[in-house]
Amino acid sequence: MSQSHVAQTAPNRAPLYFGMMAVLIIAVGFLQSWNSALFILNMGLISAIMALGVNLQWGFAGLFNVGVMGFVALGGLAVVLISTSPVGEAWQAGGLRVLFGLAIGVATIVGGIVFWAMLRGNKYRALFIAAWLIAGFFIFRAVFDPAVAAIEAVNPAISGNLGGLGLPVLIAWPVGGLFAAGAAWLVAKTALGLRSDYLAIATLGIAEIIIAVLKNEDWLGRGVKNVIGLPRPVPYEIDLQQSEWFIGLMQSIGANPVTASSIFVKLCYAGLFFAVIIILITAMQLALNSPWGRMMRAIRDNEVSSEAMGKNVTGRHLQIFVLGAAICGLAGAMMTTLDGQLTPSSYQPLRFTFLVWVMVIVGGSGNNWGAVLGGLFIWFLWVEVEPIGRFIAEVITSGMADTSALKAVILERTVYVRPLTMGLVLLFVLRFNPRGLLPER
């Protein structure tokens, strides 16, 4: 975090870079298809929101969060729990019992913490707490396990879970943020105030655990059986293709209703995502230019002196960590809504944690517009590097026979050019332009 005074004189390059980004996406529209272009745009916008969350934590508070994947996945879970319809039979089979079991689990942990504090000075404290926790664990399992078995036995082929609340899917977005905020609060309570590396490892761990829960707790979100066909906040293509006004509109501009319907749906999503980004950026810019934001940067740049000025450093860190995670959760809920399905096995740390870090660093940590630009640009690269790599591989292998095993192997493995390129981009930016495309002012 070396400060240079050169940046003061540099012109604001944001409009130029965003213009170039728009040109890139439009070029995809002309060269490949408008569907691909809008796909890149929509996921790019979601990535930009994830990058905003990480940028809040890292760029404005210097907190090292490598558990983005977990918070994103929690957002996805929120979509299932809010928008799918409840499975009445499963609730009867063991819904309340599961909740009761979970309550026992929470009570065990909370009781352990309370007793630990109450029994200070008692020499049997450790023994008592251990006995309490072990007893609580077995009672929890005794209540919880049969209920889970009962729920998962209900129609395992199509449900086997409790379902959700059947509310509109847009409500799931803020709820996803709340879920992630809750998890982040737990992590931050334990690991903040310790060394920065410890927070990193703690977030890495919590992310893996969240994914493990999503994969294995079938009663919650069907686990690896996936939840598909989640409700949408926008119209369905098939409905559009059958509605009079849409067909009429498309005929008047001379477009094919089938392709146009899918583009129209993607445009609706894009509109929603733009609205979210504008709200978020406005709120963040206001907050960061307020006394609160200045305090945050003061803490980041010198914790000791801020503490001496009477600022509660750990408390502020907790606040900003939870906020950043909530933004990641929101993005996760939006992504699951866009996909229309929750597939726990698709959450990979490389894609959902470390790639977001590349976005923040490349875009310019400490600058919200930089995070958005980084999100769009890195997502664009992530998608487009593969066809480019494939093209190069095809040129290289064009002389080989089609039956050649080597050719098949080369073509198959060009997908992995993605992580390689991302790593190189990150390393080059860190080395030659560590403040990113749009540096913090």
Partner 1 sequence: MDILNALVAFTNFVIVPGTAYGAQLALGALGVTLIYGILRFSNFAHGDTMAFGTMFVVLITAAMKSIGISFGPLPTALLALPFAILCTMALVLITDRAVYRFYRKVKAAPVMLVIVSMGVMFVMNGAVRMIVGTDDRRFADGERFLITARDFKTMTGLSEGLAIRTTQVITVVTAVVVVAALFWFLNKTRTGKSMRAYSDNEDLALLSGINPERVVTVTWLIVAALATIAGTLYGLDKSFKPFIYMQLLLPIFASAIVGGLGSPLGAIAGGFVIAFSEVTLTYAFKKVITYLGPDGWAPDGLVQLLSTDYKFAVSFAILIIVLLFKPTGLFKGKSV
Q: Which is nearer to partner 1, 400 or 424 (CB)?
A: 424
Closest distance of CB 141 from partner 1, Å: 8
Q: Can you give the binding site for partner 1, defined by CB under 8 A? A: 1-2, 62, 64, 66, 137, 145, 190-191, 194-198, 200-202, 204-206, 208-209, 212, 215-216, 349-350, 354, 357-358, 361, 409, 412-414, 416-424, 426-427, 430-431, 434
- The answer to whether 129 and 116 have CB atoms below 8 angstroms apart is yes
CB-nearer residue toward partner 1: 64 or 100:
64
Smallest gap from residue 56 Cβ to partner 1 (A): 17
Among 71, 59, 89, which Cα is nearest to 330's? 71
Minimum CB–partner distance for residue 257 and partner 1 (Å): 41
Closest separation between CB of residue 72 and partner 1, Å? 17
- The smaller minimum CB distance to partner 1, of residues 332 and 389, is found at 389
Nearer to partner 1, 261 or 414 (CB): 414
Shortest distance (Å) from residue 195 CB to partner 1: 5
Rounded to the nearest whole angstrom, what is the least distance from the CB of residue 372 to partner 1 in the complex? 20
Instruction: Give the list of residues 6+ apart from residue 57 with CB closer than 8 angstroms, or none.
Output: 63, 64, 65, 320, 321, 324, 325
Which residue's CB is nearer to partner 1, number 173 or number 219? 219
Cβ atoms within 10 Å of 143's Cβ, excluding its own: 18
Q: Which is nearer to partner 1, 190 or 242 (CB)?
A: 190
Nearer to partner 1, 140 or 173 (CB): 140
Closer Cβ to partner 1, 2 or 403, answer by number: 2
Q: Shortest Cβ distance from residue 144 to partner 1 (Å)?
A: 12
Smallest gap from Cβ 415 to partner 1, in A, equals 8
Shortest Å distance, C-beta 201 to partner 1: 5
Of 202, 181, 193, give the one whose Cα is nearest residue 66. 202
CA angle 125, 130, 135 (to 5 degrees): 130
Q: Which is nearer to partner 1, 238 or 424 (CB)?
A: 424
